[in-house]
Structure 1
């Protein structure tokens, strides 16, 4: 067998394996959408599970979009998520640039401390954070959901690694022209950081939009509930009944993430490929 033929067979084999895994990953989502369009699922969940409903109907989605509590939870999640993403991405870009191109005492130690935060999950931080926000009387507000997102160790690490790929000669040329650090960052490096910024937007958006445990701890007022909290409360109230309506709610809850990913996917591919000007 020739080398080219073996390479072609290997390529087809990889494609087939990826296709199989892709179908397996998509099957639960397709089933969720299918049940959402199945009006009879409100009486009893279809068994065995089927990918396409026998009698498709938009009844469940009509009820969903007429639900005032869902709309309010959407607005709450949108405000929290957009604000958190803006703060997280902005601070990560600034910190990543400082750790990559800046020269100051204790830089390595500070960066190690940032990396150490990646090893601490959310659960051990729940009680200290709860006591902190309770002491300043910020419980049952959106601030406990927004402020902790300002410092994100993973995003800072990604930014630093991205800026490390950009040559220092760009910064030196700007300094020769008399530009200060903020001008260099905003006019030179920030425009080049589009791909990594898109990746960070996706990561922080998913983390904030899907966050359940922390909002459950700090929000007891139903008017402030986010989409995951509303979906959980709806499921608890109805148990195994209204399965079609529950799946319709779940489908609507993930739509913003899908739309955002489809919009930013080309930038994410660029960031994975480490696009940008490289220097020796």
Structure 2
């Protein structure tokens, strides 16, 4: 009896210790974000940044955020980012679902070799592709449009890999039973497998959304017209124009710029957890 109580006490102490450690590192990771939001509410930060940094402003004010939501250029950059991101997510996730299903359940020659080529694209960073992509879109006169930001995202090796791993976990007997009933490949995909792909689709949506919304280098190369600037480009230009001044307004802009990502993640987080539990990403 005494040994049982000691074991329970040890487990509680171990659980409490793990909780404290995780809480500490969680707060440590959240500190920069909390500081950014706090500075946005500090009107005096537009004159000089508070030093040493403080997490709670002395005189909280919504002045900076009021200016942010009245900023016409920010609203235009939001619209531009929304057009690019929504288009990229829809096309990229749709193409990845088709490709992942084909690589997982399809039977065709060269499937393994083609899948290896898709995985090889993960080892090529964006920087070596900038010049070839720029010359390609320049040759078809698509620079200073949204197409160079949308079209390259249609084929995404990481999303295809995640989707294939997910479909690999689903039994082939579902496909065989549908084939016995006379269903074709497209009907099998849309009626049998696609309804089960909600978790991995949600994961791909949030990943594609983050990549597209936060993209900075490629839009900087292909967009010279300020009216077409996305949110990251507008934030960069605003910081360059104002230097170290208007720190509170800059932080307010940065906070507002990441709100869509936070909101999307809050809505889709349970599906993301399901996809990690059901797919091969967990290392099975």
Q: TM-score, normalised by structure 2?
A: 0.95
Aligned twin of 1:102: 106
C-alpha separation in 2, matches of 1:3 and 1:107: 53
- Map residues 88-167 of structure 1 onto 2, 5 A cutoff: 88-167=92-171
Aligned to 1:251, which of 242, 252, 255?
A: 255
Residue 174 of structure 2 aligns to a residue whose secondary structure is helix
- Tell me, in whole angstroms, the C-alpha distance in 1 between the residues paired with 2:9 and 2:196: 41
Q: Does 2:42 correspond to 1:38?
A: yes
In structure 2, stretches of 5+ residues that fail to align are 280-284
Equivalent residue in structure 1 for 2:61, among 46, 57, 63? 57
Distance 2:215 2:187 in 1: 35
**For 1:273, what is the secondary structure of its paired residue?**
helix
Aligned runs of 1:206-217 on 2, under 5 Å? 206-217=210-221
Confirm whether residue 82 of structure 1 aligns to residue 86 of structure 2. yes
Distance 2:192 2:87 in 1: 25
- Name the counterpart of 2:238: 234
Give the structure 2 partner of residue 6 of structure 1: 10
Residues 119-151 of structure 1, C-alpha deviation per residue, up to 9 Å, x if partnerless?
000001000000000000000000000000000
Distance 2:103 2:65 in 1: 48
Counterpart CA distance in 2 for 1:229 and 1:80 is 13
| CA displacement at 1:75 relative to structure 2 | 0.0
Partners of 1:133 and 1:270 in 2: CA distance: 39
Normalised by the size of structure 1, how large is the TM-score? Answer: 0.96
State the alpha-carbon separation in 2 of the partners of residues 140 and 7 from structure 1.
Answer: 60
Residue 175 of structure 1: aligned partner:
179
Task: Supply the distance in 2 between the matched residues of 1:61 and 1:223 (Cα, whole angstroms).
Answer: 22
- Unaligned runs of 5+ residues in structure 1 are 276-280
Shift of 1:17: 1.6
**Is the partner of 2:224 in helix, strand or coil?**
coil
Per-residue Cα deviation, 1:188-219 (whole angstroms, up to 9, x for no partner): 10110000010000100000000000000000
TM-superposed CA distance for 1:3, in Å, is 4.3
Pick which of 1-10 and 79-88 moved more.
Answer: 1-10
2:188 to 173, 181, 184: 184
SS of the counterpart of 2:53?
Answer: coil
Any runs of at least 4 consecutive aligned residues in structure 1 with deviations exceeding 3 A, and if so which?
Answer: 1-8
Q: What number of residue pairs does the alignment pair up? A: 276
Root mean square deviation, CA, Å: 1.2
